[in-house]
């Protein structure tokens, strides 16, 4: 495994990496989605990983298999039957892209640790590029969710860029779907959407403002104090 999965929940981002592992799934291996999932879960546990936080793991696994089928790593001869196949010359360019991705070093958190609040096995994250940073005021930040490593998720999103993304804010939670919807809704009501951005998760904000929004929402929801810093 290119990724150190110790203490990481088994999430969507890790399925593809396990499926590409030739020791786990050598060319010629045939199985159902359930059999693939069982083998991945056993290997993940053996490597020190945590149980999956994905709500529908078989659906996520099917999507990963379909992506790798298009790249020439798998074929789907019958319904719910998948076979690992040897890489063909036809897919050499696409495969090299994947090889380069898997060898890429993990993204550094630059310039310092993000503002991190809450506890839980999932996360809401917000990252930005240093060139967006302004001396004062708000700047574009990408706000998303993950049930696995924030760094791994962002690496899958951005690929190669002229500068390293900065992780500015992380909310640890066990309810990432709900918190993502809440934050997106609040920022839209504040007219902070970035209409020119590619995708719908870019907003003009700051890490400090996101932490304050979470604080206010948490108070409204539970009348508790600000979420405790993650350990």
96: which 2 tokens?
Answer: 């090299």
pLDDT tens across 58-107, in order?
888 888 888 788 778 899 988 889 999 886 544 444 444 444 444 444 44
pLDDT value at 169 more than 70: yes
Q: Are 151 and 113 in contact (CB under 8 A)?
A: no
For domain 12-103, say whether CATH 1.10.10 is its number. yes
123: which 2 tokens?
Answer: 């996360």
pTM beyond 0.85: no
Give the residue range(s) of CATH 1.10.10 domains in the chain: 12-103
Q: Which of 99, 101, 201, 200 is nearest to 160 (CA)?
A: 101
pLDDT value at 121 more than 60: yes
pLDDT value at 125 more than 70: yes
């Amino acid at each position: 495994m290119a990724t150190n999965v110790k203490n990481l929940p088994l999430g969507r981002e890790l399925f593809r990496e396990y499926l590409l592992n030739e020791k786990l799934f050598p060319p010629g291996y045939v199985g159902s989605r359930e059999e693939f999932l069982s083998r991945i879960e056993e290997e993940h546990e053996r490597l020190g990983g945590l149980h999956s936080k994905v709500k529908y793991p078989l659906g996520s696994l099917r999507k990963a298999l379909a992506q790798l089928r298009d790249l020439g790593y798998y074929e789907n001869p019958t319904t719910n039957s998948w076979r690992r196949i040897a890489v063909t010359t036809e897919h050499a360019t696409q495969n090299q892209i994947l090889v380069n991705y898997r060898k890429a070093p993990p993204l550094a958190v630059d310039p310092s640790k993000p503002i991190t609040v809450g506890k839980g096995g999932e996360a809401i994250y917000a990252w930005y590029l240093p060139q967006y940073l302004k001396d004062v005021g708000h700047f574009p930040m990408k706000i998303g969710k993950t049930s696995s490593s924030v760094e791994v998720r962002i690496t899958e999103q951005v690929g190669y860029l002229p500068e390293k993304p900065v992780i500015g804010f992380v909310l640890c939670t066990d309810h990432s779907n709900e918190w993502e919807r809440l934050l997106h809704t609040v920022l839209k009501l504040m007219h902070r959407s970035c209409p020119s951005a590619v995708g719908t998760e870019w907003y003009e904000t700051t890490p400090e403002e996101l932490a304050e929004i979470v604080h206010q929402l948490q108070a409204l929801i539970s009348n508790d104090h600000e979420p405790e810093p993650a350990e």
